[in-house]
Amino acid sequence: MNTTDIIQKIEDTLHTRIQEVEIKSTHRVSIWIDTEALLKAARVLLFELEFRFIIASAYQTKEGFEILYHFSFDPIGLIINVKVLLPEKKPEIESLCPILTAANWIEREMHELYGIFFINHPNLEKLISDGNWASGVYPYRRDHLTTESDI
Amino acid sequence: MSKTIIPIGPYHPLQEEPELFKLYCEGEIVKDVQWVTGYNHRGIEKLSESKTFDQVFFLVERICGICSTSHPFAFANAMEEIISIEIPDRAKYIRSIIGELERLHSHLLWVGLAGHFLGYNTVFMWAWKYREPVLDLFEMITGNRNSYAMFKIGGVRRDIENAKIPAIRKVLDMVRKKTDLLTGAVMDDPVIHARTKGVGILTKEDIREYGALGPTARASGVAIDVRKDDPYAAYPLVKWKVITATEGDVFAKAEVRLLEMYESISIIQQCLDGLLRAKEGEIEIQVREIPMGIGNGHAEAPRGEVFHFVKTDGSQYPVRHKIRAPSYMNIATFKKSCVGQTISDATIALAAVDPCYCCTERMAYAYDYKSGEKILDGNELLRLGQQKTDAMRKQLKRKP
C-alpha cells in the first residue's frame, strides 16, 4: 500500500470528520480530525491499515489543547500525525486504552501534565511526577497558576 | 506549637533505594507487577523550550548515558525535516559510525548485566572488559567516553580524520573476535538455555498491543527497525540486515542483541570505507534560520525507536519538544512477560527488555500478593536468580 492509497482509505472512512490533510512528503502526513472521530480514526489506522502507535504529544495553544497522535506504517516509513483540538475550558477526549494498551501511560502523562481528561481510561493516576506533587496543578500548562477549581 | 514534617524517602539512609518494580507474589509465582516512578523526573521537555536549538543537543544527549547518541540523532532528524535539508555524505557516515559504535557498547553492557543476573560473573567481567576499547575509541574520536557532542543541525561538529581509521578498524576486529567468544559462551551453554528459554515470552500480539520496540520486538518476530523502515544517515548507503528471532523469550532477546553486534561491526566497516571516498572536512551545511513547522524525527537506539517531535515557530527556541524513549513502551510489557513466572525468573525477564535506567539489582522488590507485605528486596531477588542457575548447573552435571 502506498501513501496515496492509505490517505484515500482514511478519507473514505472518516468523510466529513476530516478538517484538513497536509501532505509534507510521501513519508510525513498530518490529518486534522474532529475530536469525536478519534476512535474511528485509530481503529482504521491500527486494525485495518496495521499502523503502529508511536506516541501522543499534547501542546497548549491559544485555541485550546492540541493532541497529536503519531502513527507509523513501518513497511514504507510513513508517519501520520492525527491532530485533535480540545477546548481550553473542558479538555476531554475518549481514551484509546479500550483498543490499545500502548496508549495507557502516555494518556496518564498527558493528564498529569496538562489536565486533559481521558474518558474510559482504566486508571488515570499520576505516572511520572513524584507522589508529593499537588493534585489539580498541571505543570505544563501555560497558565500554571490555574487550579482545577477555576475551570 | 508548629508541626515539623520530616520527609522520609525515597532516598534515606535507613530506607532502601527508590523502588521501580514491585512484584506481587503468591508463593513462588508473580501475580502482578506495578511500576512506581517519578522521583527522578527532570522536566527535560520543558527545559528544551528555554534552550536554543544548538543547546538542545547538549540537553537531550544527557537523557540517557548508554544510548546518549540516539537522542541527538532523532532530534537532528526532526530538525532537518523541518528545514528540509540533506547533510553531506561524510556527515552521514560519521553519524552512523557513532550510532553503531554506541549500539556495540550498549549491547556489550547488556550482555554483562544479563550474565550478572544469571550468576555468570565471568561473562559480566569479560563483556565489560571488551567494552573498554570501544569507549576508548569514543574518547579518541570525540573526546569523551559518553555524551559525545558530535551532532549539530546540518551535520556533525567534529570530523573523523582518515588517519584515525586504521585504529578504529583494529578495535573492531578485536570486538568481533570477542563477540565470537561471548556468543559461543552464551548460545551453547545448556544451563543458560535452561534458564532463559521459555522465560519471559512475549508474543507478536503482545508486541503490537504494547507498541514494543527494538530487540524486544525483533526477538518476537516483529521485524521493525527504523534504520530499515525509514532510513536516515548512512544506513541506506550500506548493506546490512535486520536480525530477528521467533520465540520471544529471554534467550531470543539475547540472541538478537548478540547477532546485531556483527551487523553493527559490518556497518561501521562500510562507513569507514565511505569516509575514505568522501572529501575530508566536509561535515556540515550552514543553517541560518529555522522556519516554522513540525518535525517527526526518529532513530534506532540500542533499545528501539527513539522518537522526537519538534514544533517550531520561526524563533530560536523549540515551541514544543516531545521526547519518547523506547523503554517507555518496552517496560510496560512486564505485565505480560513477568506475570505467571517464578520470582527467580523475574529479574532476568525484566532485564531482558533492557530498561534504560540504572538496571541494577535494586530495580525490583517482591511483595506478598494478598497482604502487600514486602518479602524480598532487590539483592535477595538477584541472589534467588543466581542460586537457581547454580542448582540447574549441578543438576545438569549429574545427568549421564
Is B222 within 8 Å of B320 (Cβ atoms)? no
Encode B189-219: b = buried (16+ Cβ within 10 Å), e = exposed. Answer: bebbebbbeebbbbeeebbbbbbbbbbbbbb
Helix (H) or strand (E) holding A58: strand A52-61
Of A79, A102, A130, the CB nearest to B209: A102
Query: What is the nearest CA distance from B233 to chain A, expressed in angstroms?
Result: 14
> Chain B residue closest to A69 (CA)?
B309
Query: What is the nearest CA distance from B59 to chain A, expressed in angstroms?
Result: 18
Cross-strand bridge partners of residue B273: none
Nearest to B318 by CA among B56, B39, B106: B56
Query: What is the nearest CA distance from A120 to chain B, expressed in angstroms?
Result: 18
pLDDT at A23: 94
Backbone angles phi, psi at B358, to 5 degrees: -45, 90
pLDDT at A135: 77
CB contact under 8 A, A57 and B229: no
- DSSP states of B298-325 as a string? EEEETTEEEEEEEEEESSSS-SEEEEE-
Q: What is residue B264's three-state secondary structure?
A: helix
Query: What is the nearest CA distance from B124 to chain A, expressed in angstroms?
Result: 32
Cell digits of residue A123: 486508571
pLDDT at B29: 86
Backbone angles phi, psi at B213, to 5 degrees: -140, 175
pLDDT at B31: 85
CB contact under 8 A, B81 and A28: yes
Residues of chain A contacting B294 with CB distance shorter than 8 Å? 30, 81
pLDDT at B102: 94
pLDDT at B10: 47
**Type of residue at B397:** K
The fourth-level CATH superfamily of domain A3-137 is: NADH:ubiquinone oxidoreductase Nqo5 subunit (3.30.460.80)
Residues of chain A contacting B222 with CB distance shorter than 8 Å? none
**Model confidence pLDDT, tens digit, residues B134-155:** 999 999 999 999 889 999 999 9
**Model confidence pLDDT, tens digit, residues B49-67:** 999 999 999 999 988 888 8
Between helices B89-118 and B121-142, what is the axis angle to 10°? 160
Any chain A CB within 8 A of the CB of B206?
Answer: no
Domains and CATH numbers, chain B: 21-40+330-398 (no CATH), 44-328 (1.10.645.10)
CB contact under 8 A, A55 and B209: no
CB contact under 8 A, B224 and A79: no
CB contact under 8 A, B322 and A140: no
Does residue B89 surpass a pLDDT of 60? yes
pLDDT at A94: 95
Cross-strand bridge partners of residue B292: B313
Average pLDDT over residues B80-101: 95
In a 10 Å sphere around its CB, with 0-12 CB exposed, 13-18 middle and 19+ buried, how is residue B324 labelled?
A: buried
Q: Could you tell me the pLDDT band of residue B358, with boundaries at 50, 70 and 90?
A: very low
Residues of chain A contacting B11 with CB distance shorter than 8 Å? none
How high is the mean pLDDT of chain B? 87
Nearest to B211 by CA among A149, A52, A120, A108: A52
**Model confidence pLDDT, tens digit, residues B240-276:** 999 999 999 999 999 999 999 999 999 999 999 999 9
What ipTM describes this predicted complex? 0.92
Is B70 within 8 Å of B307 (Cβ atoms)? no
Average pLDDT over residues A43-64: 94
Radius of gyration of chain B (CA): 22
Query: What is the nearest CA distance from B37 to chain A, expressed in angstroms?
Result: 6
Encode B29-56: b = buried (16+ Cβ within 10 Å), e = exposed. Answer: ebbebeeebbbeeeeebeebeebebeeb
